[in-house]
């Protein structure tokens, strides 16, 4: 993954700070009296009757995941937030479109 460029030459705390700065979208659902908080990219799910407690549990799970991944030196396996991936996919698709357009113009 290209994300490894953000980790080169940094210690574990700097890597953890970078990961904590990433803005992951949280999906909130309520069923009956329980709140569900989900971070799909990280496969984290929390169920709780109290929304504040659910959010703090989710944050703790995210911290534990990041710490464990860094301890295993597997930071490249952490999925970046979807919005940053969408931007990269859009740029890639735009480049492909421009290349195809140039080929068609040259052949025409």
Of 86, 82, 63, which is closest to residue 15 (Cα–Cα)? 63
The runs of H, that is alpha helices, within the chain are: 12-21, 51-71, 82-107
Q: Tell me the pLDDT of the chain (108 aa) as tens digits.
A: 444 466 777 888 888 888 888 889 899 999 989 999 999 999 999 999 999 999 999 999 999 999 999 998 888 888 888 765 566 677 888 888 998 989 998 987
Q: Please answer whether residues 59 and 48 qualify as being in contact, where contact means their C-beta atoms are separated by less than 8 angstroms.
A: no
CA atoms within 13 Å, Cβ hemisphere of 31: 5
Q: Please answer whether residues 41 and 81 qualify as being in contact, where contact means their C-beta atoms are separated by less than 8 angstroms.
A: yes
- Specify the pTM: 0.67
């Amino acid at each position: 993954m290209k994300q490894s460029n953000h980790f080169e030459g940094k210690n574990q705390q700097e890597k953890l700070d970078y990961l904590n700065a990433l803005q992951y979208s949280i999906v909130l659902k309520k069923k009956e009296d329980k709140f569900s908080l989900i971070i799909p990219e990280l496969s984290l799910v929390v169920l709780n009757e109290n929304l504040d407690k659910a959010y703090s549990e989710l944050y703790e799970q995210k911290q534990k995941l990041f710490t464990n991944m860094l301890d295993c030196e597997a930071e490249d396996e952490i999925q970046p937030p979807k919005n940053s991936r969408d931007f990269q996919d859009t740029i890639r698709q735009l480049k492909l479109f421009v290349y195809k357009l140039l080929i068609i113009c040259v052949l025409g």
